[in-house]
């Protein structure tokens, strides 16, 4: 049968949920898993087209809903270098997802091919994986139907973390080039990052064990596997907790990075004592936050801003020690949710440039690409560090003039390999933090003491129509509704060290209000005031 006929027949097996409006958002399509069959099937068609448009480069498809509840799922596409799908293709995905009948699916498919001059005879290559959700294998078979109907070749990696899938995509597309990234297997992933970890640690060891809460998600089994490749307990001892993937209904429930960040407390199941270093991953292991409790049992969160400042300061020191301070420009990219104290610390103490972008990793990633060394993290723990070709060339060419310079250079080169350049990766970000703490002989308390977070409050506000809210200045100011921003400005002026903004969420039907101030009471008041202004 012709491809058209095959798509038509396969599409008939994956009807869309009636009257549902689908949208490829900040994190792809995400919703209750039982609404997703048609969307995932059609994403298979889109992935095939995108691959053909890029002359058969490999495209990735990840089936996950990250930190969302167990009954949700989602799907997102990965571009050839392991980055997020290009914006134009997000729109094409939205369009085909909202198509109402099978004939239209075929015609949109062909229309995209015409519009982008896509040669449908080019072999399409797609790889995919899923997290540990119960709905994952059913959705993977919807995807296979889409890929098969479109005549794509594919590799099913089964269960992987989101960053592992991004890694595979980048490895496959850089094979045999000067930018070769690694071997496109799970073993290749563990080997690459564990070797880089050993080099980056040098002869240092970390003090005390690290407890890792895996959100009862895919991070659990994958971390357990990674540990087999890492040096012995004397160098780094990792305790894996919340790694029960055999009860998918426990995923992200009372544990995980989103729980810890949002509720600003450790998972209730935590048995950590004072001073114990802990971290939590999210459901697909692309986010990580650290925390500990002090001698008086007070909880302290070390979030994405903390990881960014730690990494930027360490890499900055190494560049200085290598004599590259003038030549390699390091910058930190944040969103409006970054704590004001972290921004001040980066600018005034670290003397590095800070850029603020709209929420969503792709915005941060693009801004970071404009720097030699771009450190980007969302406060919720999603981020990484990327090195430009220019910076990599400098590091490759540099001839150290002293043993100290050589040592710094070797560490820097090891960090380049240790940091997942394709996307934020909880497992490798965690190893990065462990290297820096070990090298500085720091515990979580020393890390916390670099600066004091301003008390803050993040609230969700249900509004009649969140599309009426539009923003400017990297989402820090409201343009509409008219007069709302003026009210916010006045409220902010009434508290000490105040800062507040409201923006429509890209993933939920709410407007988020963030407020920070000199005291917790003032931050709470400010958040309440701004919430009332916008409702
Ligand atoms: P929205 O819903 O647009 O605020 C949330 C997170 C983002 C990002 C995306 C994608 C906050 C305040 N927002 O976006 O940082 O991670 O989800 O998952 O945490
Ligand atoms: Zn995630």
Give the model confidence (pLDDT) of 70-115 as tens digits: 999 999 999 999 999 999 999 999 999 999 999 999 999 999 999 9
The phi-psi region of residue 225 (left if phi > 0; otherwise alpha if psi is between -120 and 50; otherwise beta) is alpha
Q: Binding site annotation covers 532?
A: no
Contact between residue 411 and residue 318 where contact means Cβ atoms under 8 Å apart: yes
| Nearest CA residue ID for atom 12, ligand 1 | 337
The yes-or-no verdict on residue 46 having pLDDT over 80 is yes
Q: SS3 for 387-432, per residue?
A: ECHHHHHHHHHCCCCCHHHHHHHHHHHHHHHHCCCCCCCHHHHHHH
What backbone phi and psi angles, to 5 degrees, belong to 511?
Answer: -105, 135
Provide the pLDDT for residue 1.
Answer: 66
Of 411, 428, 448, at which residue does a domain stop? Answer: 448
Residues 441 and 461 in one domain: no
Q: Note the pLDDT of residue 2.
A: 82
Give the three-state DSSP class for 55. Answer: coil
Query: What is the atom index within ligand 1 of the atom nearest the CA of 504?
Result: 3
Which residue from 380, 503, 513 has its CB within 8 A of the most atoms of ligand 1, so it is best to mutate? 380
Whether 430 is in a domain gets the answer yes
Residues with CB under 6 A from ligand 1: 26-27, 337, 359-360, 378, 380, 382, 505-508, 512
Task: Please tell me the distance between residue 423's alpha carbon and the centre of ligand 2 in angstroms.
Answer: 11
Per the domain annotation, does 169 fall within a domain?
no
* Residue 123, C-beta contacts closer than 8 angstroms, at least 6 positions apart: 52, 56, 152, 153
- Tens of pLDDT along 404-442? 999 999 999 999 999 998 899 999 999 999 999 999 999
Final residue in a domain of this structure, among 275, 301, 327: 301
Percent of the chain scored above 70 by pLDDT? 100
Question: Do residues 143 and 283 share a domain?
Answer: no
- Does 123 fall in a domain? yes
Please indicate, yes or no, whether residues 372 and 496 belong to a single structural domain of this protein: no
Question: Is the bond preceding residue 481 a cis peptide, omega within 30 degrees?
Answer: yes
Q: Same domain for 50 and 148?
A: yes
Q: Supply the CATH number for residue 443's domain.
A: 3.40.120.10
- Give the nearest ligand 1 atom to 380 CA: 19
ipTM of the complex: 0.97
473 labelled ligand-binding = no
Q: Ligand 1, residue 503: give the atom nearest the CA.
A: 4
Q: Which domain holds residue 247?
A: 188-301
Task: Give the residue, by CA position, lying nearest to ligand 1 atom 4.
Answer: 505
Residues 312 and 439 in one domain: yes
Based on the domain organization, do 395 and 464 belong to the same domain?
no
CA of 382 to the centre of ligand 2 (A): 8
Instruction: Assess whether pLDDT exceeds 80 at residue 361.
Output: yes
* CA 357 – CA 364 distance, rounded (Å): 6
Q: Please, where are the H alpha helices in 82-185?
A: 87-97, 102-115, 136-149, 162-174
Distance 512 CA to ligand 1 centre (A): 10
pLDDT on residue 389: 94
Residue 166 lies in a domain: no
On whether residue 180 sits in a domain, the answer given is: no
Same domain, 122 and 222: no
Atom nearest to 507 CA in ligand 1: 2
Give per-residue burial for 274-297: e unless 16+ CB within 10 Å, then b: eebbbbbbbbbbbbbbbbbbeeee
> Annotated binding residue at 383?
no
Residue 380, annotated as binding a ligand: yes
Based on the domain organization, do 422 and 375 belong to the same domain? yes
- Residues 369 and 516 reside in one and the same domain: no
Among the atoms of ligand 1, which is closest to the Cα of residue 26?
10
Distance 66 CA to ligand 1 centre (A): 11
Percent helix / strand / coil, the chain, rounded to 5? 45, 20, 40
CATH number, domain containing residue 474: 3.30.310.50
Instruction: State how far the Cα of 44 lies from the Cα of 24, in Å rounded to an integer.
Output: 14
pLDDT band, residue 506 (cuts 50/70/90): confident
Region for residue 455 given its phi and psi (left: phi exceeds 0; alpha: psi -120 to 50; beta: otherwise):
beta
Q: Whose CA is nearest to atom 5 of ligand 1?
A: 507
Q: Please report the pLDDT score of residue 78 as a whole number.
A: 98
Q: Could you say which ligand is closest to the alpha carbon of residue 30?
A: 1
Q: Tell me which ligand sits closest to the C-alpha of residue 423.
A: 2
Cα–ligand 1 centroid distance for 160 (angstroms) = 22
Coil, strand, or helix at residue 301? strand
Residue 171 included in any domain: no
Has 503 been labeled as part of a binding site? yes
- Is residue 178 one of the residues assigned to a domain? no
Give ion ligand 2 contacts, CB < 5 A.
Answer: 66, 282, 284, 286
Instruction: Specify the residue with its C-alpha closest to ligand 1, atom 9.
Output: 360
Query: Can you give the three-state secondary structure of 306-358, one letter per residue?
Result: HHHHHHHHHHHHHHHHCCCCCCCCEEEEEECCCCHHHHHHHHHHCCCEEEEEC
Whether residues 295 and 312 share a domain: the answer is no
Number of neighbouring beta carbons within 10 Å of residue 207: 13
Does residue 458 sit in helix, strand or coil? Answer: strand
Number of domains in the chain: 4
Q: Note if 107 is an active site residue.
A: no
Active site residue: 11, 38, 51, 66, which one? 66
| CB-based contact 322:398 (threshold 8 Å) | yes
Q: Stretch 375-401: mean pLDDT, rounded?
A: 96
| Domain membership flag for residue 164 | no
Q: Which residues contact 306 (CB under 8 A, 6 or more apart)?
A: 290, 342, 447, 448, 450
Cα(505) to ligand 1 centroid in Å equals: 7
> Which ligand lies nearest the alpha carbon of 251?
2
Ligand found nearest the CA of 507: 1
What's the CA gap between 121 and 161, in Å, rounded? 32
Closest CA to 49 of 85, 100, 12, 83: 85
Which residue of 334, 506, 511, 527 sits with most ligand 1 atoms within 8 Å of its CB, as the best mutation to test the pocket?
A: 506
Which ligand 1 atom lies nearest to the CA of residue 67? 18
Is the sign of the CA dihedral 177, 179, 185, 190 positive or negative?
positive
Do 473 and 393 belong to one domain?
A: no
**d(Cα 52, Cα 44) in Å, to the nearest integer?**
12
* Strand residues in 175-311 grouped as ranges (E): 210-213, 238-241, 277-281, 288-293, 299-302
**What does the block give as tokens for 35?**
């609404």
Q: Please report the pLDDT score of residue 196 as a whole number.
A: 98
Residue nearest to atom 19 of ligand 1 (CA): 380
471 and 427, same structural domain? no
Q: So what's the pLDDT on residue 509?
A: 87
* CB of 151 closer than 8 Å to CB of 113: no
Please tell me whether 505 is known to bind a ligand.
Answer: yes
The side-by-side arrangement of strands in the sheet containing 330-335 is 353-357, 330-335, 373-377, 383-387
| 282 annotated to a ligand binding site | yes
Domain closes at, from 268, 301, 334: 301
Distance (angstroms) between ligand 1 centre and the Cα of 70 equals: 18
Q: Compute the average pLDDT of residues 38-65.
A: 98
d(CA 197, CA 392): 18
pLDDT of residue 507: 82
For residue 209, CA distances in Å to 237, 264, 434, 455, 457 come to: 5, 22, 11, 29, 31
283-307 pLDDT per residue, tens: 999 999 999 999 999 999 999 999 9
């Amino acid at each position: 049968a012709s491809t058209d006929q095959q798509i038509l027949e396969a599409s008939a097996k994956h009807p869309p949920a009636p009257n549902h409006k689908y949208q490829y958002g900040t994190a792809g399509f995400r919703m209750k898993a039982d609404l997703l069959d048609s969307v995932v099937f059609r994403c298979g068609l889109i992935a095939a087209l995108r691959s053909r448009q890029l002359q058969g480069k490999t495209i990735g498809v990840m089936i996950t809903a990250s930190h969302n509840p167990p009954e949700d799922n989602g799907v997102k596409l990965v571009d050839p270098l392991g980055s997020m799908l290009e914006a134009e293709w997000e729109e094409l995905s939205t369009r085909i997802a909202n198509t109402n009948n099978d004939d239209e699916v075929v015609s949109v498919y062909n229309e995209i091919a015409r519009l982008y001059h896509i040669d449908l005879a080019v072999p399409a290559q797609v790889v995919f994986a899923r997290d540990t959700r119960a709905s994952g294998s059913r959705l993977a078979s919807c995807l296979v139907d889409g890929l098969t109907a479109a005549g794509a070749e594919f590799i099913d990696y089964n269960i992987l973390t989101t960053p592992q899938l991004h890694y595979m995509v980048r490895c496959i597309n850089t094979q045999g080039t000067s930018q070769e990234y690694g071997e496109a297997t799970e073993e290749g992933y563990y080997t690459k990052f564990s070797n880089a970890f050993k080099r980056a640690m040098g002869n240092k060891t970390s003090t005390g064990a690290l407890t890792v809460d895996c959100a009862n998600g895919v991070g659990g089994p994958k971390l357990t596997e990674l540990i087999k490749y890492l040096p012995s307990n004397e160098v780094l001892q990792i305790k894996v907790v919340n790694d029960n993937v055999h009860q998918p209904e426990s995923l992200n429930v009372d544990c995980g990075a989103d729980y810890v960040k949002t509720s600003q407390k450790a998972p209730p199941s935590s048995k950590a004592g004072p001073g114990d270093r802990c971290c939590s991953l999210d459901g697909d292991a692309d986010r990580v936050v650290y925390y500990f409790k002090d001698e008086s049992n007070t909880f302290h969160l070390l979030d994405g801003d903390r990881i960014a400042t730690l990494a930027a300061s360490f890499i900055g020191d190494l560049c200085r020690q290598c004599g590259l301070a003038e030549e390699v420009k390091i910058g930190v990219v944040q969103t409006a949710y970054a704590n004001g104290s972290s921004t001040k610390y980066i600018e005034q103490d670290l003397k590095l440039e800070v850029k603020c972008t709209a929420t969503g990793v792709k915005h941060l990633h693009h801004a970071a690409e404009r720097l030699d060394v771009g450190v980007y993290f969302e406060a919720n723990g999603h981020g990484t560090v990327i090195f430009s070709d220019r910076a990599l060339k400098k590091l490759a060419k540099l001839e150290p003039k002293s043993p100290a310079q050589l040592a710094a250079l070797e560490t820097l080169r090891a960090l380049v390999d240790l940091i997942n350049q394709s996307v934020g990766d909880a497992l490798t970000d965690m190893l990065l933090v462990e290297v820096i703490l070990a090298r500085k002989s720091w515990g979580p308390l020393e890390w916390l003491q670099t600066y004091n977070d301003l008390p803050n409050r993040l609230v969700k506000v249900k509004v009649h129509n969140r599309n009426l809210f539009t923003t400017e200045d990297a989402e820090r100011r409201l343009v509409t509704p008219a007069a709302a921003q003026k009210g916010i400005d006045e409220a902010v002026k009434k508290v000490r060290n105040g800062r507040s903004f409201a923006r429509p969420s890209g993933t939920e039907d709410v407007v988020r209000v963030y407020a920070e101030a000199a005291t917790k009471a003032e931050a709470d008041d400010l958040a309440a005031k701004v919430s009332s202004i916008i409702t």
